[in-house]
Chains A and B, each alone.
Chain A
């Protein structure tokens, strides 16, 4: 057990699974040296370094640099998965999903169903989400809600290194297509991570903090902001229960509902855009199945309905922060009192 960053934890997951199972292959843009760039073997190791070193141990046949063509990457990976390999394909920025969406949404997600169970698609798509680096509108989105809405896809959104390694190993061992979302600002976040391989089951939320007053459900980077807000609120006498779903599909509905049953008050925090997102999905779930326990309306803390700004000052206003989260919690806590 050692302290590792999310980057190291993900690398370890890939390395250990590639050693265990020769069918696991990595494919994507710049996963090793960058095809056609003259950068040399392993010069890149992934845009933020997660796959660095893999080609040295596993070779060109298993660590495959591709041209800039997401539709071909995802198409090839989906086909490889359904014919016997276990590919981990990289969609460098989740914002690029548009150019390969058919391969994910109509092909990989539906093979198992449309072939009557005769085909399995053990594909993992690793992709970056999140704003906060002035990467601007086309490189800062968090579209996990789009993947979540597709039946046949599993969607994973880890918030820390321990979860990241266990969930990625679970994703690689899972026989269905999994979209694995990595927040681009969190790769250096550290926590204690076992050195050996382990799995975390999908559909099992993590209760990050216990509290009796308000339930706060948060995803990815927002889990940490919610924790910060909870510290401030605890000093004011408001105890938050923070739930990190870890996977949006399948979603651990029971943990959320049981918490709201106790607290009666819910705030959902999501840095994605407000329409048709995870915050809306969870609010509807609770309104449907826990209505009799609610003491206040469900509040959603999300980004505004705009593209992600480039200017740092505007991007800062775009992303939900601990103070906006705390304000929402105070509002639901005080409602009706």
Chain B
């Protein structure tokens, strides 16, 4: 139960978000809610997502009306104990507005930007959020994606710990040099990254191809990995949606890209025009098509996954959890059946291959609970 009156503010999802629009309040003013309840839906130029309650409380006052657009950090609502007086709420709102305009300049100045790191001659781009004494988290995206994949995850995990999101070679802002593109080549870059940063053992979180890289790194260098969270990972079975892989590598026009990207999600409306444009802009860069093609042929030759990590997975000593969307059309959720009983498996409803985007709140809770123990 929240003891004090606090604010719900416009979150910052991803590097480029500067403002968001309140689409719909999912609880009315005065309603009580529990931790994890959906409170409101926010639309940005890139994507629409739901804000969930961090803890139980009452929605004391809705400040931002439906349809209004606010900058990040803007006051959306006031929450707190049900018995808070009107005077207390008014004081809070007045105090918040003042603090907002003073803090705006400071916040804008410290908005984090990605940085580059040289790892054995390969330049890697990464984004660092948060700080603290707890073990750091390293997030590894999947094939064709980049660190922006974690736009809903990274801020949520960054309370009291350092959270790193890395662009794998061939992706995002990292070097297009992928060597022969296989798990070993890409894994070496990740290992080098952790060594150069001297981050200590990390909580490793990997999605899809990034999940397979995470698992094989955990097997090879258990000293670097405190816990392992795999989201719809590759490497647990032979099946792979080659129509997606081939289509993604080949897509150079918007129509082709939309069709391919919709295979990734449970709800096709998640694939916004901005998301498609981001993917196309990435794919048009010199060297990207060749890098993706090299990786695809190393990982998915002959229409099947070439990497089989079931033996390595069985031998892992650190805590391992696996999260999968039940409507995953890229890598079948049935691959989770091959895992040892010690591995915690969570299958999420109404989610496709991107549960960390479509069910961000639930995935964030599962990761936080897992790494906090």
Contacts and interface: CB of A to CB of B under 8 A. Distances in A.
Interface of A: 1, 162, 166, 194, 196-201, 204, 207, 210, 254-255
Contact of A210 (B252, B273, B284, B285): B273
B285 A198 contact: yes
A196 B285 contact: yes
Q: Which 7 A-B pairs have the closest CB atoms?
A: A198-B284, A197-B286, A198-B285, A204-B253, A199-B284, A201-B252, A196-B285
Contacts of A204: 253-254
Given A207-B273, A210-B273, A254 B286 contact: no
B369 interface: no
A200 B287 CA distance: 14
B284 A200 contact: yes
Contacts of A166: 284
A162 B285 CA distance: 12
Given A207-B273, A210-B273, A198 B286 contact: yes
B216 to A, nearest CB: 30
Given A201-B252, A201-B253, A196 B286 contact: yes
Chain B interface mostly: loop
Given A1-B173, A194-B281, A207-B273, 7 more contacts: A166-B284, A196-B285, A197-B286, A198-B285, A199-B284, A200-B284, A201-B253
B310 to A, nearest CB: 39
Contacts of B284: 166, 198-200
Contacts of A207: 273
Contacts, number: 25
Contacts of A199: 284, 286
B257 to A, nearest CB: 11
B346 to A, nearest CB: 35
Contacts of B254: 204, 255
A1 B281 CA distance: 12
A215 to B, nearest CB: 15
B285 A194 contact: yes
B56 to A, nearest CB: 38
Nearest to A209: B273
A197 B284 CA distance: 9
Interface residues of B, number: 11
A197 B287 CA distance: 9
Nearest to A210: B273
Contacts of B287: 196
A151 B286 CA distance: 30
Interface in B209-261: 252-255
Nearest to B252: A201
Contacts of B285: 194, 196-198
9 contacts: A1-B173, A162-B281, A194-B281, A194-B285, A196-B287, A198-B285, A201-B253, A204-B254, A207-B273
A212 B285 CA distance: 32
Interface in B134-176: 173
A241 to B, nearest CB: 11
A172 B215 CA distance: 44
A197 B255 CA distance: 23
A166 B281 CA distance: 10
A196 B284 CA distance: 10
A254 B255 contact: yes
Contacts of A200: 284
Contacts of B252: 201
Please indicate which of the listed interface residues A1, A196, A254 has the most CB atoms of chain B within 10 Å of its own CB.
Answer: A196
Contacts of B273: 207, 210
Contacts of A196: 285-287
Nearest to A200: B284
A9 to B, nearest CB: 14
Contacts of A197: 285-286
A70 to B, nearest CB: 33
Nearest to A169: B286
Contacts of B255: 254
Contacts of A254: 255
Contacts of A162: 281
A90 B331 CA distance: 52
Nearest to A203: B253
A199 B284 CA distance: 6
A237 to B, nearest CB: 12
Nearest to B176: A196
Contacts of B253: 201, 204
A211 to B, nearest CB: 12
Contacts of A255: 254
B6 to A, nearest CB: 34
A198 B173 CA distance: 14
Nearest to B255: A254
A41 to B, nearest CB: 30
A210 B269 CA distance: 14
B19 to A, nearest CB: 15
A196 B287 CA distance: 10
A207 B252 CA distance: 16
A254 B253 CA distance: 12
Interface in B171-204: 173
Nearest to B286: A197
A255 B253 CA distance: 11
Nearest to B272: A210
Contacts of A198: 281, 284-286
B67 to A, nearest CB: 12
